[in-house]
């Protein structure tokens, strides 16, 4: 196919098409990016410049309108109080200035085209305009404030003037009254006595003229009052000029003339003259306060100042309005500029859209063209593919023919192999072993050695799996074997390791077969499994007989050595078995089992000891689960069968013996000889039935000496006793525990000789067993000179059990706890950490105490104090001592 380079291949066609598609796609993406960038820039202009600018323009416009409205309100106030309420314009000012500043800042970021430049110029021009506007506002406020102050001053002064004028009028009236009274009194005199003198006075007197003058003054005061009112109401300066120049001047002249006349007329009457003079002074004062143009605080002057201020305020207001208009115009221009910016952005966006549309149409046309081209090329490529397919078919046919020859060759080879297999069968049969081959799926193959056929049956029937063949009647065992086999042939474990775990023994028709599992490999891969079975029945039987004979020898030796001790041990073993079978508490069971194990080992009941050890190992550590009868019965049977064998040898008289030592017999003889009291002699002899502590300790010592060599220890055991006897059976439970303690001393306490030499001690260890009785208290001691208690190991063990370890007492306490042991190796004799606990419990059950004293490297001493039910020793009277 590579030879057809001249024409384009399908791959090159597809490559070309995908290249075109990729180019189109890239062009599309590029176009999109360009369009997006263009639109984003338009949008950004709108978002960052135009919209905020328009917002600020709106704010600016609103602030200008607000200021203008405020100015209108300021102008229309009528009192200082109203004005004060409007004085604060901080909000509007900051709005105005802030909007302008922001506007300028935003426009600075706008583009650099003509409209943006123009907008910037306008915005910059606005700052001074705003300042002028605010300045005009300040001026207006000040002007209106002055206007109000003037107005209020005017009102106050007007009220004062009115009051003064009323007072003036009253004074005039009072003078008038005095003059009138004088005149009337004169008239009355005329009426009573119309004499010439009186008449002359009436006709030519001054009273009438005085009255006229006073009336003129009063009228003048009234006029002045009216004039002050007109001043207050004068609409403009011209009216004020007229009032001031014409009427006030005239009023002043007229009243002055009248006052001059009055002064002249009253010159003779001092009191009246005084009153007239004060009237004049008051009038001049008031007239000046009202109409004196020269006085800045006269009503006329103040009124004029009010006009001026009003005019000024109007001017300022106008200026301010012009500024506001200018600002509004600027805002409008800027608004226009913002609109232009918006329009430009929109135009830009529209242009971009149009260009995009054209680009998309072009790209689409290109795509269609490329697709047409590609289709044509692919069609031609498909034609070539068909041709290639036909060539391949031809090739296949050729291969089929070649294969048929191959099958013939294989058949020849197979027949050769069968021949070889048959010769192999002869070899298999010639060995005495049973040989089986098993396929990987467990099927036992028909070919097997003659022995295998004899033990396991001929393989003529239906092919059976190896587990059914080995365990035809035991489904559980068959299942176990099947699982083990599957593990064997599985890839999970190495074959050798899996083979180790395969069953090694098979009981079949009274035979015991030893099984070996081997793999048969072909070309490095396991193909089958070879099972080799040997008959080991006889060998096992002889081994067992040998073992039993040894055991029997040991047991017989024990009996011979110490019949009584043996008997007691047996009795105790039975009661321990009862405890094991019946106790509810796992701890009790464990202790009993442990003690039984130790005792049986000491007596030489090796099988029973092993059985105990197995049961102990199998015993679940969880509390609440106790030993079942099924587990105890074999132990009991084993004990009894062993015992029967012992009895066959030594008879069965070792269970009811009483131990009497020579010394006791000597004492008895002497007592009889000396003619002692019968009662004393009877009591003494009766006490022989009691147990001799010395004898018990002697047995422990013998046992200790016996087991020591087995443990690699050299040992001297001494017994120190004072002849104490205890009621038979009373301490039976204690002896077992005590024996255990002695074993512990040998096993754990005493070091091997080389270790002792290294520690500077004699190679032989020493154990002392002591007993002493004091009336009803029996003291027992087991002392060794061994390594002492290893407190460090104890601490580790106790910590592992979660016990407190801070003090020596804590550690000793931990030592009594079941399951705490410093030995990592469990032996038949001791080492489960149960022994001491059991001993202390027994001691406590008997009402006694157990103490432990130990010095590392120097030895351990166990002291037991046991109360007795009666005196421990019955001694004959002391002639013996003589």
Partner 1 sequence: MGPTRRHFLGGLLSLPLLAATRASRAQAAGELRIGMTTALSGPSQALGVGMKAGVEAYFRKVNDQGGVFGRPLRLIALDDQYEPLQTGPNMRALIDDHAVFAILGNVGTPTAAVAVAIADEKKIPFFGAFSGAGLLRKTPPDRYVVNYRASYAQETSEMVRGFVQDLRIHPQHVAFFTQNDAYGDAGFAGGVKALEAAGFERARKLPHGRYPRNTVDVEGGLARLLDPKVTVKAVIMVGAYKPCARFIRLARGSGLDAVFANVSFVGSEALARELGREGDGVVVTQVVPHYDDALPVVSDFRSHVAQEDVNFASLEGYVAARAFVEVLLVAGPNAGREAFIDAVESGHPFDLGLGRSHVMSPANHQFSDAVWPTFLRAGRFHPLRRWGDLRAGP
Residue 784 pairs in a beta bridge with: 767, 860
Supply the minimum distance, in Å, between the C-beta of residue 170 and partner 1.
5
CB-based contacts of 740, cutoff 8 Å, min separation 6: 594, 595, 598, 830, 835, 838, 839
What is the CA 406 to chain-centroid distance, rounded? 72
Please identify, using beta-carbon distances, which residue of 282 and 732 lies nearer to partner 1.
282
Burial of 650 (0-12, 13-18, 19+ CB in 10 A): middle
Judged by the rule CB under 8 A, the positions of this chain that interact with partner 1 are 170, 173-174, 176-178, 180-181, 183-185, 187-188, 190-191
**Cα separation values, 846 from 833, 840, 843, 864, Å:** 22, 10, 5, 11
Supply the minimum distance, in Å, between the C-beta of residue 269 and partner 1.
13
Please identify, using beta-carbon distances, which residue of 65 and 190 lies nearer to partner 1.
190
Supply the minimum distance, in Å, between the C-beta of residue 221 and partner 1.
14
Please identify, using beta-carbon distances, which residue of 176 and 781 lies nearer to partner 1.
176
Supply the minimum distance, in Å, between the C-beta of residue 183 and partner 1.
7
Supply the minimum distance, in Å, between the C-beta of residue 215 and partner 1.
12
Please identify, using beta-carbon distances, which residue of 45 and 176 lies nearer to partner 1.
176
In three-state secondary structure terms, 714 is coil
Supply the minimum distance, in Å, between the C-beta of residue 184 and partner 1.
4
Please identify, using beta-carbon distances, which residue of 218 and 609 lies nearer to partner 1.
218
CB-based contacts of 120, cutoff 8 Å, min separation 6: 104, 107, 108, 110
3-class SS string, 170-208: HHHHHHHHHHHHHHHHHHHHHHHCCCHHHHHHHHHCCHH
Residue 5 DSSP symbol: T
Percent helix, strand, coil in the chain, to 5, is 70, 10, 20
Supply the minimum distance, in Å, between the C-beta of residue 212 and partner 1.
15
Instruction: Report d(CA 283, CA 334) in Å as an integer.
Output: 67
What is the CA 566 to chain-centroid distance, rounded? 68
Supply the minimum distance, in Å, between the C-beta of residue 257 and partner 1.
23
- Each as own residue / partner, the long-range contacts of residues 816-824 (CB below 8 Å, 24 or more positions apart, any chain) are 816/840, 818/587, 818/590, 818/591, 820/794, 821/797, 822/748, 822/789, 822/790, 822/793, 822/794, 822/797, 823/748
Residue 767 pairs in a beta bridge with: 717, 784
Instruction: Report d(CA 700, CA 708) in Å as an integer.
Output: 12
- Answer yes or no: are the C-beta atoms of 224 and 254 closer than 8 Å: no
- Each as own residue / partner, the long-range contacts of residues 838-847 (CB below 8 Å, 24 or more positions apart, any chain) are 838/591, 838/594, 838/595, 838/737, 838/740, 839/737, 839/738, 839/740, 839/741, 839/864, 840/816, 841/591, 842/733, 842/734, 842/736, 842/737, 843/734, 843/737, 845/733, 846/731, 846/733, 846/734
CB-based contacts of 848, cutoff 8 Å, min separation 6: 864, 865, 866, 867
Residue 623 DSSP symbol: T
Please identify, using beta-carbon distances, which residue of 275 and 304 lies nearer to partner 1.
275
Instruction: Report d(CA 745, CA 733) in Å as an integer.
Output: 19
Please identify, using beta-carbon distances, which residue of 207 and 818 lies nearer to partner 1.
207
Please identify, using beta-carbon distances, which residue of 183 and 566 lies nearer to partner 1.
183
Supply the minimum distance, in Å, between the C-beta of residue 278 and partner 1.
14
Supply the minimum distance, in Å, between the C-beta of residue 310 and partner 1.
32
What does DSSP say about strands 715-720 and 765-774: parallel, antiparallel, or unpaired? parallel
Classify 510 in phi/psi space as left (phi over 0), alpha (psi -120 to 50) or beta: left
- Answer yes or no: are the C-beta atoms of 437 and 528 closer than 8 Å: yes
Please identify, using beta-carbon distances, which residue of 275 and 471 lies nearer to partner 1.
275
Give the tokens for residue 619.
């015993």
Instruction: Report d(CA 94, CA 188) in Å as an integer.
Output: 86
Instruction: Report d(CA 83, CA 74) in Å as an integer.
Output: 6
Q: Which helix H or strand E contains 461, and what residues bound it?
A: none
Supply the minimum distance, in Å, between the C-beta of residue 175 and partner 1.
9
Please identify, using beta-carbon distances, which residue of 160 and 677 lies nearer to partner 1.
160
Please identify, using beta-carbon distances, which residue of 170 and 585 lies nearer to partner 1.
170
Give the tokens for residue 591.
């202790």
Instruction: Report d(CA 42, CA 682) in Å as an integer.
Output: 136
Instruction: Report d(CA 89, CA 136) in Å as an integer.
Output: 13
- Answer yes or no: are the C-beta atoms of 772 and 866 closer than 8 Å: no
Give the tokens for residue 200.
């002359």
Please identify, using beta-carbon distances, which residue of 99 and 218 lies nearer to partner 1.
218
Please identify, using beta-carbon distances, which residue of 177 and 763 lies nearer to partner 1.
177
Pure H helices in 687-762:
693-710, 732-744, 753-758
Please identify, using beta-carbon distances, which residue of 271 and 423 lies nearer to partner 1.
271
Supply the minimum distance, in Å, between the C-beta of residue 173 and partner 1.
6
Please identify, using beta-carbon distances, which residue of 176 and 703 lies nearer to partner 1.
176
Please identify, using beta-carbon distances, which residue of 187 and 660 lies nearer to partner 1.
187
Report DSSP letters for 76-100, one per residue: T--SHHHHHHH---HHHHHHHHHHH
Please identify, using beta-carbon distances, which residue of 184 and 520 lies nearer to partner 1.
184
> If we measure between CA atoms, which residue out of 777, 773, 781, 774 comes closest to residue 869?
777
Please identify, using beta-carbon distances, which residue of 169 and 345 lies nearer to partner 1.
169
Residue 807 DSSP symbol: S
């Amino acid at each position: 196919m590579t030879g057809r380079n001249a024409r384009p291949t399908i791959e090159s066609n597809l490559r070309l098409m995908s290249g075109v598609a990729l180019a189109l796609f890239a062009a599309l993406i590029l176009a999109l990016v360009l369009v997006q960038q263009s639109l984003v820039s338009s949008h950004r202009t709108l978002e960052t410049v135009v919209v905020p600018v328009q917002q600020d323009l709106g704010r600016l416009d609103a602030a200008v309108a607000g200021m203008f409205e405020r100015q209108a309100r300021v102008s229309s106030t009528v009192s200082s109080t109203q004005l004060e309420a409007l004085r604060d314009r901080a909000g509007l000012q900051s709005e105005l200035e802030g909007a302008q500043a922001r506007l300028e800042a935003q426009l600075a970021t706008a583009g650099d085209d003509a409209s943006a430049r123009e907008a910037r110029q306008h915005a910059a021009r606005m700052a001074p305009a705003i300042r002028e506007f605010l300045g005009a506002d300040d001026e207006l406020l000040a002007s209106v404030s002055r206007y109000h102050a003037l107005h209020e001053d005017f009102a106050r002064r007007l009220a004062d003037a009115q009051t003064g004028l009323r007072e003036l009028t009253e004074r005039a009236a009072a003078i008038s009254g005095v003059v009138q009274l004088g005149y009337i009194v004169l008239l009355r005199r005329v009426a009573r006595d119309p004499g010439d003198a009186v008449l002359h006075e009436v006709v030519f007197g001054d009273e009438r003229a005085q009255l006229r003058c006073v009336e003129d003054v009063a009228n003048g005061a009234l006029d002045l009052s009216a004039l002050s009112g007109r001043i207050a109401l004068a609409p403009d300066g011209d009216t004020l000029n007229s009032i001031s120049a014409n009427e006030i001047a005239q009023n002043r002249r007229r009243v002055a003339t009248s006052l001059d006349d009055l002064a002249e007329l009253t010159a003779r009457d001092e009191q009246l003259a005084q009153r007239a003079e004060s009237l004049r002074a008051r009038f001049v004062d008031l007239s000046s306060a009202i109409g004196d143009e020269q006085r800045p605080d006269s009503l006329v002057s103040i009124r004029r100042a009010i006009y001026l201020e009003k005019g000024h305020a109007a001017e300022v207001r106008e200026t301010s309005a012009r500024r506001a208009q200018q600002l509004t115009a600027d805002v409008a221009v800027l608004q226009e500029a913002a609109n232009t910016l918006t329009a430009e952005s929109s135009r830009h966006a529209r242009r971009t859209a149009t260009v995009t549309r054209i680009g998309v149409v072009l790209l689409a046309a290109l795509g269609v063209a490329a697709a047409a081209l590609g289709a044509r090329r692919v069609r031609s490529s498909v034609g070539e593919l068909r041709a290639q397919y036909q060539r391949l078919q031809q090739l296949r046919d050729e291969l089929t023919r070649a294969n048929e020859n191959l099958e013939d060759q294989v058949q020849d080879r197979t027949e050769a192999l069968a021949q070889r297999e048959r010769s192999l069968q002869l070899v298999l049969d010639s060995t005495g072993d049973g040989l089986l081959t098993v396929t990987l799926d467990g099927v036992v193959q028909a070919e097997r050695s003659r022995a295998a056929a004899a033990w396991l049956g001929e393989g003529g029937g239906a092919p059976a799996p190896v587990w059914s063949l080995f365990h035809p009647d035991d489904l559980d065992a068959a299942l176990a074997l099947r699982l083990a086999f599957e593990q064997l042939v599985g890839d999970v474990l190495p074959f050798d390791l899996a083979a180790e775990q395969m069953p090694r023994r098979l009981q079949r028709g009274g035979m015991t077969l030893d099984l070996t599992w081997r793999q048969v490999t072909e070309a490095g891969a396991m193909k089958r499994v070879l099972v080799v079975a040997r008959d080991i029945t006889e060998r096992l039987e002889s081994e067992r007989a040998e073992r039993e004979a040894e055991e029997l020898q040991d047991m017989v030796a024990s009996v011979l050595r110490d019949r009584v001790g043996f008997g007691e041990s047996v009795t105790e073993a039975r009661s321990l078995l009862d405890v094991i079978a019946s106790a509810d508490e796992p701890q009790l069971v464990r202790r009993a089992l442990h003690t039984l194990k130790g005792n049986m080992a000491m007596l030489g009941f090796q099988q029973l000891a092993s059985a105990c050890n197995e049961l102990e190992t199998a015993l679940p550590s969880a509390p609440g689960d106790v030993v079942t009868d099924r587990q105890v019965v074999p132990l009991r049977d084993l004990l009894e069968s062993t015992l029967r064998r012992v009895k066959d040898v030594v008879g069965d008289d070792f269970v009811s013996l009483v131990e009497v030592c020579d010394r006791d017999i000597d004492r008895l003889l002497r007592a009889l000889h000396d003619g002692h009291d019968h009662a004393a002699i009877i009591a003494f002899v009766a006490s022989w039935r009691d147990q001799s502590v010395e004898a018990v300790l002697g047995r422990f010592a013998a046992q200790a000496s016996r087991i020591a060599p087995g443990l690699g220890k050299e040992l001297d055991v001494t017994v120190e006793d004072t002849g104490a006897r205890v009621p038979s059976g009373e301490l039976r439970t204690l002896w077992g525990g005590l024996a255990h303690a002695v074993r512990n001393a040998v096993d754990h306490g005493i070091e091997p000789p080389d270790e002792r030499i290294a520690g500077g001690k004699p190679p032989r260890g020493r154990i002392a067993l002591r007993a002493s009785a004091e009336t009803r208290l029996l003291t027992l001691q087991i002392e060794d000179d061994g390594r002492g208690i290893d407190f460090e190991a104890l601490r580790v063990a106790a910590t592992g059990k979660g016990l407190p370890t801070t003090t020596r007492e804590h550690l000793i306490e931990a030592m009594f706890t079941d399951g705490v042991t410093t030995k990592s190796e469990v032996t038949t004799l001791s080492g489960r950490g149960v022994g001491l606990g059991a001993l202390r419990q027994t001691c406590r059950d008997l009402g006694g105490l157990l103490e432990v004293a130990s010095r590392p490297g120097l030895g351990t001493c166990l002291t037991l104090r046991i109360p007795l039910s009666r005196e421990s020793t019955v001694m004959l009277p002391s002639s013996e001592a003589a």
